[in-house]
Structure 1
Amino acid sequence: MTLYRQLLIWMLVVFFTLITSVFIIQFNTTRNFLHEQQSTEIDNAISAVGMALAPYLEVNDNVAAESVINATFDSSFYSEVHLRILNPSSESNDTTEITRSYPTTVNGVPDWFQNLILIKPITRTTTLTSGWMQLAELTVTSSSIHAYKQLWQASLQLLLGFTGTFLVGLLFLAFILSKVLKPLKSIQLSARQMSKNQFGEPLIVPKIRELKDVVIAFNHMSAQLKIHFDQQAQEADNLRIRAYQDPVSGLANRSYLMTQLNSWLSSSSQGGIALLKVDLIADAYTFDGYETGDHLVQKMSARIKELINDDHTIARINQSEFILLAPNITAKELTAIGRSLLHMASELQSDPLDLAPTQASVGLVMRSNNDNITTLLAQADNALMQAKQQPEPLVLFDLQEQHDINKKTIMGKQQWKALVDEAIANKLFRFNFQNAIDQNHNIIHQEAFSYIQKGSQQYLANQFLGAIEQLNLGSYLDIHIIDELISKLNNDVTLGKIAVNITKSSVNDTGFIRWLTNKMQSNPQLNERIIFELPEICFIKHGNNTGLLCELIHQNNFSFGIDNFGHNFSSIGYLNKFRPAYVKLDFAYTHHIEDQIKADVLASITRTANNLLITTIATRVETISQQEKLAKLMVLGFQGYVVDKINKEENL
């Protein structure tokens, strides 16, 4: 029970007790007054009747005496009148009696009230005399009808008055307490946010002396904690920059590139690399100094970052050379990227007439099945050398296409779209689920990987997803996938929490956002069983749309995670703003953690996330020893080959 309710209840109890006491006192006073009024009225009536009857009794005019009694006692104040006339002249002492009885039924007063409140009638007896001679004996008994009616009306008025007073007092006390305790309520809400490491604006300092000191201390503590978390996030960013980022360009360095190349070549993903050499930058370093060269590098890097994608990696490997790694694209798309790089490099030149040759060249290499890092980079160097000798300084090496016997089976974007349309229409989509576990091997969630099963042929998502994204049809695919998974969850209550990936184009599609909002509102029972996974690039390049989607997810009590966290070298400070349930670390941060610098970077990132109550999950964890090392660096979740191995051992 809240302090507000406790104070209000106890104050109302005291107030009710006081009102009840006043009510009882007033009720008893009214009842006693009515009782006394009966006594006074009966005494007055007897005195008046005695004086009126005496002349008639002296002459033994009984008829006149009876008329006086009937005229006097004809109201509801009396229940019985008895007159016993004495005859002193008679030797036998004969008496004449006159008796009058009146109704005692009380109309308009509930029976329970008459039974609960007892008002006894009053009886008075007096002897009427004339001098020393006794004429008659008069006995009058009062009636409680009038007293009950008066007391009932008074009780109703008191009850209504005190009830109204109590209700007005209740509202007044509630208002006063809410005003007095408003600063305390603000402290409570702020404390609740602070427990979740959320820091808002400082609280308004109240005028109440006791609360004023508390609020000032609370604001100071909140500010200090916010500074601490900001410094922690900045520390993680600084460590990451030193380990993986080129300090001049802000792009990835050679170490990070090698990790990404190794990860790419160890997978079945296709694609290629683009090696850009900008001679203008090399000449600037040689002839104009480092300041001019750094300025050109920064301008070039700012333009190259426009090509950034969630899958792409862009790195600066020396003074004037840049590499772009682009998985899951075709040779035609890689060539378009190469031409964009040349155009960006030409913008650095001071050539208003656009007549000077471009002082840059690009070597493009499409990956083949037998490539390794050494052969791939060697091909890129050879392509770059050939590009320098051609009018258009761009050369593409595509050995796989040259040796591919079945190159007619290569599918374009429209063919992939047609396949996806067919799969949706004929329900050809299937799902594989990969567990993410914690240190105790408990399942955090299952990530859903979709593929198309057409006859005996399987098409994995990474084969067609790039084409679908380029055609801005990601929302069309996501709607079908999410619908299918929601149906599975509704039909199978034993199915655990599922993480479903949402494409970048869906995040920027307001129609998809409305659809997903309606879907969440119509399936509130699934808020603990489905989680949406968003690519990190959306938080960097499309912050407004992503923020809207995240807010709607939170409002409907669902949750979301971030994929490829750290891939794009943005500040991790945005975590405190968006509050995801988990982040999946980019492979570069969890690979080769025997290097102390890389281990320090990972520990700093995980510490920041864990302090914000955000689970950090490492992907592609292959061995138990790797899992143990990651656990020591405060990674809380694991996903990859080691998870499948653990599950098999536990099932055995």
Structure 2
Amino acid sequence: MTLYRKLLISISLAFVLLFVGLFYVDYHQSRQFIAQKQFSEVKNAINTVGLALSPYLKENDPVAVETAVNALFDGSSFSSVRVVMLQTGEEIVRSYPIRGDNVPKWLVNLDVFQTIHEKRVVTSGWLQLAEIEIISHPGVAYAALWRNMVVTFRVGIASFIFSLLLIGYFVKRSLQPLNQLSAAATQIANRDFNISLSKPETQELIPVFNAFESMVVRIKAFVEEQTRQADILRTQAFVDEASTLGNRNYFISQLESKKSEGQTLLIAIIRYEEATQAKARHDFDAVTDLMKLVGPKLKTLANDNSIICARLLDDEIGVIAPYLDEQQANDLLAQLSRVSQSATEITFEIGAVITDGFTDSMSILSSVDTALIKAKLEPDSQYIQYENKGLPITTTQWVELVEDAMEHNAVITKSQLVKGIASSAYHREIFSGIKHEGNYMPAIMFLAPMEKLSKAHLYDQYIIESMIKELSNDSSPVPVAINLAPATVTSPEFITWLETRLQKIPQLAAYLHFELHEVVFIYHKEMTRLLISSIRRNGAKFGVDNYAHHLESLDYLPEFSPDYVKLDYLFTLNLDDDKTAETLSSVAKLAHDIGAFVIATRIENQRQINKLAMHNVNGLQGFAIDTKDDNE
């Protein structure tokens, strides 16, 4: 119950009690007044009739006596009048009808008025002429009392309603400052610190408002400091200071995370001859200066979610990118060359390997080194070595395969459970793919071609529809997490479609969790904000996938306030490294403190679970928790 209602009910109860007290006093006084009036009327009536009948009684004229009685008591409030003429013994009795005037029976049953019975002997000197008896009836008294009660009650009700409206207005106005504080507290709970409070008119609340504003400033500063500390630790663990690109540890972690995904990759190394020569003569300042020139230029490529750049050695920079076709690979190498040449006039070689699967990062880097040696012999200092075993599929062919699978409902979905460390299931993450020539093709293999032709949002819509259908047929559903491609998040068409779709399923919206890659929170904030607004408005949830994957600031986290985050694989992979573990604790604590559920992925053994439990991690996902179940 709201404070407004409590105050209104309390004041109303006080008013009712006061009204009941006043009503009782009025009722008691009215009853006494009416009873006294009735007694006086009987006394006056018997005195009046005695005086009026005396002349006729002396003459012993019964007709005149009867006429006088009829005239005196016609329309009176007495139930009966009896006159006994003592000289002749003749008796005159008159009874009058009782008028109730719609008095309720329960009031009469209270028996608050008694019947008044009065006798009087009329004399003339010592001679007794007649005996007069008058009996009153309380009907008129009850009617008068009831009329008074009705008037009092109506006035009381009218006063109560008017007072209630007036009190409600003033109470609501008085509570406006508290409502402001309540709304501001909700904003803080939702990790929104952009709060503007208008100072209250109530003097006692001004210090409260000042203290609250001071608290908000401190909380905001605390969160910003946490973000800064997390960024510093992440930079120390995974960023090369000179080039501002990722370091070798970061690059190896990303390679390891991608080796089991099934995606065809282009892995390249750029070796700078000037850096090699400077290193040979121990001129490390020259090496550093060169990397300071090259690094920021290459970093612009890494702004794209699909490309990873990192410094591997003093004179080498590694690149990981998805492979679409030969033209795309040549374009990428040409772009790398242009970026390197635009930084400074230097000599470099680029060796690349195209692969759709490798056993470990060291073996694939060895292949890239071989390609790098061959690149030195090429006229353009570039060499691409193909190690992909599968048949080449063009972008258009991929899109046609996926569209055909959607048309024939041949898309395969699998799910993997996410469990809390100390709780039950949080959700099931949905993985999808298609079959081609008997082989399972995960979505990561064809999402890049779908994005290139602006078709990714259609595939995501298909998966969402499939999950809605599945949830509607489940009597005890578990929430499902659906990954959205970056191109889907930035599609106005998809945002409009999702808003309309969620509005039609309010009972199921809470079971839909949408996972957005970290890149959209960093580079596509406006469109992401529109999508998130729609998701939250309709009761669904959203999370950050590959949290802390990019080497940009994490200041987007308090700004968007996700419901959950999924840590990048590099944290799970290097738990034994002290810097990685410290960074993990920091980035997890940052997410945890703003209310996000922190999930570690690719958990494969109990040892990882035990270590993660010490680092502010709430949930776990991986084969040690749950295998992927097919739902074909």
TM over 0.5: yes
The corresponding residue for 1:91 is none
1:62 aligns with 2:65: no
What is the letter of the counterpart of residue 367 of structure 1?
A: T
Q: State the Cα distance separating 1:339 from its structure 2 match.
A: 3.5
1:333 aligns with 2:328: yes
Deviations 1:148-198 (A, max 9, x none): 222222111111111122223333333444444444444455556556665
In structure 1, distance between residues paired with 2:290 and 2:525: 32
| 2:287–2:315 contact (8 Å) kept in structure 1 | no
Match for residue 514 of structure 1 among 484, 491, 496: 496
Of the three residues 495, 498, 505, the one matched with 1:523 is 505
Aligned to 1:496: 478
Q: What is the CA-CA distance between 1:590 and the residue it aligns to? A: 2.7
| 2:482–2:514 contact (8 Å) kept in structure 1 | yes
Give the corresponding residue for 1:352: none
2:491 alignment partner AA: D
Give the length in aligned residue pairs.
Answer: 622
Question: Aligned partners of 2:461, 2:444: CA distance in 1, in Å?
Answer: 18
Q: How does 1:78-227 map to 2 (within 5 A)?
A: 78-87=78-87, 94-116=88-110, 118-191=112-185, 194=188, 199-201=193-195, 203-204=197-198, 206=200, 208=202, 211-227=205-221
**In 2, Cα distance between the equivalents of 1:76 and 1:56?**
22
**Counterpart-to-counterpart distance in 2, 1:131 and 1:441:** 109
Structure 1 residue 626 and structure 2 residue 604: aligned?
A: no
Distance 2:148 2:271 in 1: 102
**Cα drift, residue 645 of structure 1:** 7.8
With over 3 angstroms needed to count, the CA separation of the structure-2 counterparts of 1:59 and 1:189, relative to structure 1, is same
TM-score (norm 1): 0.84
Unmatched runs of 5 consecutive residues or more in structure 2? none
Within 1, Cα distance between the matches of 2:201 and 2:456?
A: 56
Q: Are the aligned partners of 1:431 and 1:451 in contact in 2 as well (CA < 8 Å)? A: yes
Distance of 1:438 and 1:432 partners within structure 2: 20
Question: What letter is aligned with 1:551?
Answer: S
Q: Deviations over 1:101-144 (max 9, x none)?
A: 11114142222332235322323322223344332222222233
Distance in 1, Cα, partners of 2:150 & 2:275: 98
The aligned counterpart of 2:34 is 34
Q: Do the aligned partners of residues 262 and 106 (structure 1) sit closer, same or farther apart at CA in structure 2, a change above 3 Å counting? A: closer
**What's the counterpart of residue 426 of structure 1?**
408
CA RMSD of aligned residues (A): 3.6
SS at match of 1:534: strand
Q: Give the aligned partner of residue 77 of structure 1.
A: 77
Segment of structure 1 superposing worse, 113-122 or 203-212 = 203-212
2:556 maps to which residue? 574
Cross-structure match for 1:375: 366
**Corresponding position of 2:384:** 397
Change (3 A) 1:643 1:31: closer
1:42, distance to aligned residue in structure 2 (A): 2.9
Describe the SS at the equivalent of 2:128.
strand
Q: Partner of 1:447: helix, strand, or coil?
A: strand
Q: Under a length normalisation based on structure 2, what TM-score does the superposition of the two structures give? A: 0.87
Give distance in 2, aligned partners of 1:500 and 1:115.
74
Match of 1:314 among 304, 309, 315: 309
1:358-386 Cα deviation digits (max 9, x unpaired): 98876554236569343343245346535
User: Following TM superposition, by how much is the alpha carbon of 1:235 offset from its aligned partner in structure 2, in angstroms?
Assistant: 0.0
1:246 is paired with a residue of what secondary structure?
coil
Q: Within 2, Cα distance between the matches of 1:454 and 1:267?
A: 17
CA 181–509 in structure 1, closer or farther in 2 if over 3 Å, else same = same
After TM superposition, the structure 1 = structure 2 runs for residues 223-234 of structure 1, keeping only pairs within 5 Å, are 223-234=217-228
Q: Deviations over 1:403-453 (max 9, x none)?
A: x6x7xx422222222212211121111222223334459543322111224
CA distance in 1, matches of 2:288, 2:445: 44
CA distance in 1, matches of 2:502, 2:338: 45
Q: Which whole-Å deviations, capped at 9, do the CAs of 1:464-483 have from their partners, x for residues lacking one?
A: 22211111111211111111
Q: Which has the higher contact order (CA 8 A, sep 6+)?
A: 2
Q: Secondary structure at the match of 1:600?
A: helix
Quote how far apart the aligned CAs of 1:456 are: 3.5
Match of 2:399 among 395, 405, 417: 417
For residues 367 and 424 of structure 2, the distance between their equivalents in structure 1, rounded to whole angstroms, comes to 41
What one-letter code is carried by the residue in structure 1 that aligns with 2:222? Answer: H
Instruction: Provide the secondary structure at the position in 2 that maps to 1:134.
Output: strand
1:354 aligns with none
Decide whether aligned partners of structure 1 residues 601 and 459 sit closer, same or farther in structure 2, where only a CA change above 3 A counts: same
Q: Percent identity?
A: 31
- Bigger mean CA deviation after superposition, 600-609 or 179-188: 179-188
Match of 1:353 in 2: none
Assess, with a 3 A threshold, how the Cα gap between structure 1 residues 556 and 50 changes in structure 2: closer, same or farther: same
Q: How far apart in 1 are the matches of 2:41 and 2:73?
A: 12
- Distance in 2 between the 1:421 and 1:113 partners? 84
